[in-house]
A and B are shown apart, each in its own frame.
Chain A
């Protein structure tokens, strides 16, 4: 498991996925080629399922484009742990089924080489030898996340309900 540490604040959606590709890349594999291109050109080649990203305040600010959250989900990123998240990105991550952890304490405690793990049901993130709790998602959003994202959630509701 690799931890990608980007300590700066306000990492925006253009850094996570440049706007110039927004209308030509919309599937997971297309997005992967340019994911975090202007922030860390090596990221796309190095990221593996289960990896974790640690960042500062207001992660994901800017555009409503969903390639950042969809791309990180496609890459198999286990969680993004940040001091805080921008709200459209936060919603988008829930819609894609991507786990976000807002924990300034965990971010501040992290130093290179620490093992990091997240237990969403317990609301706990472990960094090195310390554990930090984070507030659980409200039930409405937790349901969406646990169903694997909004569209899977809707599919489930529709097939379980009156049917299409």
Chain B
């Protein structure tokens, strides 16, 4: 039997072949932390007072979660982080405005095919789009990694998802991954790796792969990985990076399960409150009035997503009862969209622009909801209380569905407008 992607990456890291279920100790290529670094610094200092981080060049810190600071307490945390990275010689520090960590890490060339990246953020699995083995850890483990440079990983079993066909008009990667999560369930891939393979992968843009890998955690997956191919090479060529470590699973790899999806058959879907796996066709909610639409985040805040929305909203005005909030995933994506006139289109249509960052996604600031309000969001979670108010409802959808619904003030299947 051949080996899966996870077996190969972890096997290479320990210099021998590994078996599923085995515990291995690895030194990750990068440890990512964000605003939570302030609390991690406290843990680090209390464990090794005055100590040095083991590998300053394997640490990346991105300020993105509550930026610009919403309170003096946030600001003090940010200042503590700036002082720490300077003192410790951590050069991969990206201050407010760079963007959401999961967009910034690949942009800065820190996520390479075949590498191992851990991050104190559950959506670290996004880097599977770039053929990396990437997974989330807690703050304490990040502090431990700063000190020791190593951690343990269990070699996971793998679910293989075979993709064929191509999307119809008005349907995108978000509809696919929400459909998969609805089928697999919130815990259906718990402790497991997910691989996306099949002929359709070549047709998926890197932005699409990021949207899909980003939500792997919403079915419990440890990693969600794509093979490296021409588009991957093109992405790194633009960064002037030569790929040397890409890993492909064997054709006869032993998978726990294989699921097949024909992109042709995917329809616009929406994830209803308060669980991501609560997925229904958008048509089932047709006509439901909404108060806010949020376009952005590490799931759907890239130029391609903003363009899909702008193509729908250009020359129009969003419904007067709807607030449209847009948060680009990074400064670079913001500028790419700006150069194409996409930002102007969105702002003219009534969008309120946020700085590149996590924005309202985690409910700490910017665009919180009032009790009883409904938000249609392109983010990755609709948990109760997620956007700051437990009596509010969050519905997850694609940029296309979000834009069409913002225009009409009610949930609408984008195919009705894009005919």
Interface residues in chain A, defined as those with a beta carbon under 8 Å from any beta carbon in chain B: 9-10, 12-15, 18-20, 22-24, 26, 37-38, 57-58, 61-66, 69-70, 84, 86-88, 91-92, 95-96, 138, 140-141, 149-151, 154-155, 158, 164
Does the CB pair A140–B48 fall under 8 Å? no
Give the shortest distance, in Å, between B171 (CB) and chain A (any CB): 26
Q: Hey, what's the 0/1 contact readout for B141-157 against A, CB within 8 Å counting as 1? A: 10110011000100000
Q: Which residues of B contact A96 (CB under 8 A)?
A: 140
Smallest Cβ-Cβ distance to A17: which chain B residue: B385
Given the known interface contacts A14-B381, A22-B362, A154-B147, the answer about A88 and B122 at a Cβ–Cβ threshold of 8 Å is yes
Smallest Cβ-Cβ distance to A152: which chain B residue: B47
Give the shortest distance, in Å, between A84 (CB) and chain B (any CB): 6
B interface residues, tally (CB under 8 Å): 54
Does the CB pair B140–A150 fall under 8 Å? yes
Interchain CA distance A3-B25 in the complex, whole Å: 36
Q: Which residues of A contact B362 (CB under 8 A)?
A: 19-20, 22, 63
Among A23, A91, A141, A154, the one with the most B-chain Cβ atoms within 10 Å of its Cβ is A23
Give the shortest distance, in Å, between A113 (CB) and chain B (any CB): 29
Kindly state whether residue B275 has any CB partner on chain A within 8 Å: yes
Chain B stretch 168-212: residues in CB contact (< 8 A) with chain A = 186-187, 190-191
Interchain CA distance A66-B143 in the complex, whole Å: 12
Q: Which residues of A contact B23 (CB under 8 A)?
A: 138, 140-141
Does the CB pair A87–B220 fall under 8 Å? yes
Does the CB pair A38–B35 fall under 8 Å? no
Interchain CA distance A69-B124 in the complex, whole Å: 20
Interchain CA distance A63-B361 in the complex, whole Å: 12
Q: Which residues of B contact A154 (CB under 8 A)?
A: 47-48, 144, 147-148
Interchain CA distance A95-B152 in the complex, whole Å: 12
Chain B stretch 24-64: residues in CB contact (< 8 A) with chain A = 25, 35-36, 38-39, 42-43, 46-48, 51
Does the CB pair A23–B386 fall under 8 Å? no
Among B77, B141, B388, the one with the most A-chain Cβ atoms within 10 Å of its Cβ is B141
Give the shortest distance, in Å, between B378 (CB) and chain A (any CB): 17
Does the CB pair B122–A24 fall under 8 Å? no
Kindly state whether residue B327 has any CB partner on chain A within 8 Å: no
Does the CB pair B74–A23 fall under 8 Å? yes
The 3 closest A-B pairs by CB, nearest first: A58-B187, A92-B138, A66-B138
Smallest Cβ-Cβ distance to A66: which chain B residue: B138
Give the shortest distance, in Å, between A117 (CB) and chain B (any CB): 27
Q: Which residues of B contact A91 (CB under 8 A)?
A: 137-138, 141
Contact with A141, one of B119, B152, B191 (Cβ below 8 angstroms): B152
Interchain CA distance A65-B33 in the complex, whole Å: 12
Q: Which residues of B contact A15 (CB under 8 A)?
A: 383-385
Q: Which residues of B contact A164 (CB under 8 A)?
A: 48, 51
